[in-house]
A and B are shown apart, each in its own frame.
Chain A
Amino acid sequence: MTLAPGLHHYLIIAALLFCFGLCAVLSRRNGIAVLMGIELILNAANLNFVAFSRYVTNALGGHIFVIFVILLAAIEAAVALAIVFAIYRHFKSVEVPQVHEMQG
């Protein structure tokens, strides 16, 4: 591993971002903060895809994958925020621990 940026540097950045995203997903109380953690995790995966596409396969397949992941992240944000609004109307709160009584 050298000073000049190589595959390892990008993989380490992606690993750090993944862990921060994991931390946000597991420990945040606010539902929207949990969504932000999910976005961070998806971004870490994207960075891995692009780094492998640049340094290992040298083909554009990884880029196509990243486009689909970005698209799915946008869809996920829209639908999940709609669900968060529905939860907010029902429970008057978006705190995750208060929403444990989900049945019927």
Chain B
Amino acid sequence: MRSPRYGKSRMEISQILHIAGFYLFALITVVAGFFVAFAQNIMRAVFALMFALFGMAGLFLFLHADFLAATQVLIYVGGVLVLLLFGIMLTQQMVEADIRTGRIQFAPTLLAMFIVLGFLLFLIFKTPWNISTASGFEETTRGIGTLLMTEWLLPFEVASILLLAALVGAVSIARARRPGA
């Protein structure tokens, strides 16, 4: 890295942008996660979850996981989140105008949360992580495809059977019982 007296080189500017982008996505993810847990209005919590999932996709990009970032946006934001929105809209009684969600056992929950957080931070900083110096993956899609078709073929097929079973199970649970059927 050149000394600052020669002005900022292109390398430094791109590094600064990289760091700033990382902190932007980290901030989006953490703040949105906070609102998922603590927002009073449940619709706000769902949209905060959307921002958290998008921020997570951005963090995946910073970790050189391009395929996972795309998968995250497609499945979570496109699938799971729409499902959750449907669930909320179908199960709220429209007579009660405000869609608020109360909470139970709030003080013990906060206590448990801070204990777990402290324990995790303690572990993160005390463990001697064996950090490799490799610069990360160039592109991951080809490698993931090869692994899924060779080493992880059996889990892949089992997962497809599981998807089929979940599909049938979800439909049969959610379907309204017809009288006499």
- Residues of A whose CB lies within 8 Å of any CB of B are 1, 3-13, 15-24, 26-30, 32-33, 35-37, 39-40, 43, 46-47, 50-51, 53-58, 60-61, 63-64, 66-68, 70-75, 77-79, 81-86, 88-89, 92, 94, 96-97
Contacts and interface: CB of A to CB of B under 8 A. Distances in A.
A104 B121 CA distance: 44
A82 B67 CA distance: 29
Contacts of B121: 12, 15
Closest 6 CB pairs of A and B: A82-B174, A15-B120, A20-B37, A27-B109, A82-B173, A82-B170
A7 B45 CA distance: 28
A92 B90 CA distance: 11
Most chain A beta carbons < 10 A, residue from B52, B62, B65, B93 = B65
A58 to B, nearest CB: 4
Contacts of A39: 49, 53, 76, 80, 84
Contact of A29 (B37, B56, B101, B113): B101
B65 A50 contact: yes
Nearest to B127: A11
B180 to A, nearest CB: 17
B80 A74 contact: yes
Contact of A84 (B36, B87, B134): B87
B12 to A, nearest CB: 12
Interface in B64-96: 64-65, 67-68, 71-72, 75-76, 79-80, 83-84, 86-88, 90-91, 93
27 contacts: A5-B18, A8-B125, A10-B63, A15-B120, A15-B121, A17-B52, A20-B37, A23-B113, A24-B36, A26-B108, A27-B109, A28-B104, A35-B84, A40-B52, A43-B53, A46-B56, A56-B131, A70-B68, A77-B79, A77-B80, A78-B170, A81-B86, A81-B170, A82-B170, A85-B91, A85-B173, A86-B173
Contacts of B132: 55-58
